[in-house]
Structure 1
């Protein structure tokens, strides 16, 4: 048999895409010459192309064993190992390839990619630069440099690298796609969507459609986002993240039955996927189905988002059994608003005979001392936690107490102003209709931009005297209002929530974004008006309501269309005139 001819025929078939014929030719070669490096390496490439990384690795390893000084064998071995998620070994293999052939741009490119997968972004960037120096015409080198820069949180520079890649290779789908990722990282979702569309036009796929959906969702183009998620699922019917985001859009559009059906279809595929259960909880709670909603909500502890906050306790978890003669620790979780909303349930544990200790976040301790004299309050997370017979997370109380929409304890106030809190007698004595404003929540929340409004939009309320209850960096957005006396800044006088409660009690009305201030005003029984975005992801405000079963004194003003703060605030202005001016 002519081995060279068989190899030639095999390569010819491989280039023509007739991979089965190529395999037969290479096998003929290996049957007569088991140590043939070309056949071993070419077969390794074919196996990897077919998705068989294990066979690809075995063939490449055999080539390395037979001739350990041939760089191409190490290159193929590294590719196969990387496909098997054995990234550390892949890095070693690529490094050996470079040692044997320092001028190989491909080896530097592949090593850069493996280092990026390992989270070693600076090293990945260095390798990509070396690849560019060797072969500046290779688009993949610029793509990998962009990927490393993106990993180094330099998305602007990453875009420049991707642009160079597309100039060299206009049909490089990965360059366009990753450029979209870079724009998305900068919050430029319109440019991200455009780049995703360019990538899709070259080579469509589930991940590209999913990413396009995310960009469109951020732009509040929800119908288009939904269509993109459906296309992603057409490409990959088991794409769980696409199911989750599709259901989220359906929930945000108020189509709860469809959202539930979407999530239940995904649960047929992955019944133990925590994120699916968590999102199902949001759907059920938004619709007021507390029985299933709070049960599904317990899956939060198994989601990637919540896992870092899981704590270990020496005591047993409380599951609703008798508390007579037993001590129980209620431990804090999530945000200030959640704690202010759910702390009303803690006295019910004392009613059941428990000796109750409430652990709360720093800043809430003085305020929570007014909740119930039977409750011991501990501010901040102690390590180890206070010793008790039992423990329960604050947000698990609705489930353990069997709370329903009709049994929410909505009697207010359930919090008060503690002794020693800030003195706001000067505010209470100020003329006019005293209005406390909080227009932004914590910037740590991904949706904070969407739920925040501009304080300037509420100047000019007839007869109103505006006071800022805003804390943090967002307070600076009203600095011109403070400077020109159009709003009084109370922020420097608010050391904790007890001081904020004292300031709220000096107001006639509080207007707050969906933040802790809204919950606090509601808990104090003060009139509080909350402008809400569309879509609104917070399940507690439910759908279409302008009131809240949690807070009798609270009123909601919803955007009539996505992003339409003008419409929401126009309704608020009219309500203000009706209540305070015409009366």
Structure 2
């Protein structure tokens, strides 16, 4: 580029975006940075730079760029959402939740936003009114934020109607904080205000100090629990449930999922591992790592009720970041979570525990892609567990 010449942004993006997609973040940074070395440049290139440095764990630098982007283009809602995830990752809940409301302003999320005619609840008391609280996004999100439904009931003084996916209806029916419960897709009773489950933190100004609240807030079905306890009764304890892959369609799946073979360091004599893996990765259980006594339960898990009953019977869940982690946490069961170098915002930074679930321990990558270090740390702790 000649001095004084405006950069060809489209050409730079064509060059850099494939590098980011291929997780070659250092190369992407090297391509973009020269255009911004003076400290100024097109916002589109600053966005590219942020996308290249955040996965490298440079969260402070990323936030500075994101703050600048939002200040210069407050109507750029994707930039505001990116900032929200960084703020939440840093534990700055107050502003983080406010910016998180822009999550449905992205190209790939606008189609799943509920277009509700009634106003969104803002946390004020509304005695005599009916409040619809509805789930959104993934199952793990619902399990995580269902704890707030009783809080919303107490704060609002309203009649609360809870709407959830059919897959978790029976689990939700045994929770608290609602007067009526309906399945998503059916017609809810008349309501005056609504709130998405993950907008409750913004409405109620959730702080870290208020977590975790009452644990457990979900429970296994007694009949299913009895069935699985009987089925697993003769297996040598401890019983350690395993999940090594999340939903393949998740946008961040490549960053969070591993293979069963990578669990090899965890194998211990006299310890029984239970595969509760679902989806295409479940077939890996037919060839467990050497020395690992693995029983696959995957084919007999028909719904989350089975998963909840197994987790309530097992002594421990070891899992990548997936919905069973949140289900186990909501059940008050012990969980060890394997986290990538830059994790999802809800796991915060550096700490080995989480305010969301008291019985959960976090094992983090210390270098990008280094699952070997995570399983080695887990194996060390497991040996004395």
| Residue 320 (structure 1) aligned with residue 115 (structure 2) | no
Aligned to 1:343: 146
Aligned to 1:55: none
Structure 2 residue corresponding to 1:290, chosen from 74, 93, 105: 93
Distance in 2, matches of 1:378 and 1:244, equals 41
Distance in 2, matches of 1:381 and 1:369, equals 17
How far did 1:232 drift? 6.0
Structure 1 residue corresponding to 2:377, chosen from 543, 567, 571: 571
Structure 2 residue corresponding to 1:362, chosen from 142, 146, 166: 166
Give the 4+ runs in structure 1 shifted more than 4 A: 231-236
How far did 1:265 drift? 2.2
Distance in 1, matches of 2:106 and 2:164, equals 23
Distance in 2, matches of 1:510 and 1:474, equals 17
Aligned to 2:295: 488
| Residue 545 (structure 1) aligned with residue 351 (structure 2) | yes
Distance in 1, matches of 2:52 and 2:169, equals 38
Aligned to 2:201: 398
Distance in 2, matches of 1:245 and 1:336, equals 31
Distance in 2, matches of 1:368 and 1:468, equals 25
Gapped regions of structure 1 (runs ≥ 5): 1-203
Q: Does the 8 Å CA contact 1:364/1:379 hold for their aligned counterparts?
A: no
1:265-304 correspondence runs (5 A)? 265-304=68-107
CA deviations on 1:54-73 (whole Å, 9 max, x unpaired) are: xxxxxxxxxxxxxxxxxxxx
CA deviations on 1:286-306 (whole Å, 9 max, x unpaired) are: 111111000001112222222
| Residue 527 (structure 1) aligned with residue 334 (structure 2) | yes
How far did 1:374 drift? 4.1
| Residue 237 (structure 1) aligned with residue 41 (structure 2) | yes
Distance in 2, matches of 1:495 and 1:233, equals 53
Aligned to 1:431: 236
How far did 1:419 drift? 4.2
CA deviations on 1:34-62 (whole Å, 9 max, x unpaired) are: xxxxxxxxxxxxxxxxxxxxxxxxxxxxx
Q: Does the 8 Å CA contact 2:135/2:164 hold for their aligned counterparts?
A: yes
Q: Does the 8 Å CA contact 1:413/1:525 hold for their aligned counterparts?
A: yes
Aligned to 2:274: 467
Aligned to 1:556: 362
| Residue 256 (structure 1) aligned with residue 59 (structure 2) | yes
Larger helix proportion of the pair: 1
How far did 1:213 drift? 3.5
Residues 386 and 238 of structure 1: CA distance in aligned 2, closer, same or farther (over 3 Å)? farther
| Residue 371 (structure 1) aligned with residue 175 (structure 2) | yes
How far did 1:208 drift? 4.0
Q: Does the 8 Å CA contact 2:318/2:337 hold for their aligned counterparts?
A: yes
1:30-69 correspondence runs (5 A)? none
SS of 1:421's equivalent? helix
Distance in 2, matches of 1:355 and 1:420, equals 30
Q: Which has more radius of gyration? A: 1
CA deviations on 1:128-151 (whole Å, 9 max, x unpaired) are: xxxxxxxxxxxxxxxxxxxxxxxx
CA deviations on 1:184-238 (whole Å, 9 max, x unpaired) are: xxxxxxxxxxxxxxxxxxxx84334334433433444433322233346579933
Structure number with higher relative contact order (C-alpha < 8 Å, ≥ 6 residues apart)? 2
How far did 1:429 drift? 4.1
Which deviates further from its counterpart, 351-360 or 209-218?
Answer: 209-218
Q: Does the 8 Å CA contact 2:81/2:103 hold for their aligned counterparts?
A: yes
Residues 506 and 390 of structure 1: CA distance in aligned 2, closer, same or farther (over 3 Å)? same
SS of 1:424's equivalent? helix
Aligned to 1:307: 110
Q: Does the 8 Å CA contact 1:518/1:528 hold for their aligned counterparts?
A: yes
Q: Does the 8 Å CA contact 1:238/1:269 hold for their aligned counterparts?
A: no
Gapped regions of structure 2 (runs ≥ 5): 1-6
Distance in 1, matches of 2:12 and 2:34, equals 6
CA deviations on 1:491-543 (whole Å, 9 max, x unpaired) are: 2222221211001011111001100011111111111111111232x101111
Structure 1 residue corresponding to 2:321, chosen from 514, 525, 532: 514
1:124-273 correspondence runs (5 A)? 205-231=8-34, 237-240=41-44, 242-273=45-76
SS of 2:170's equivalent? helix
Distance in 1, matches of 2:153 and 2:214, equals 17
Distance in 1, matches of 2:159 and 2:180, equals 9
CA deviations on 1:93-114 (whole Å, 9 max, x unpaired) are: xxxxxxxxxxxxxxxxxxxxxx
SS of 2:302's equivalent? coil
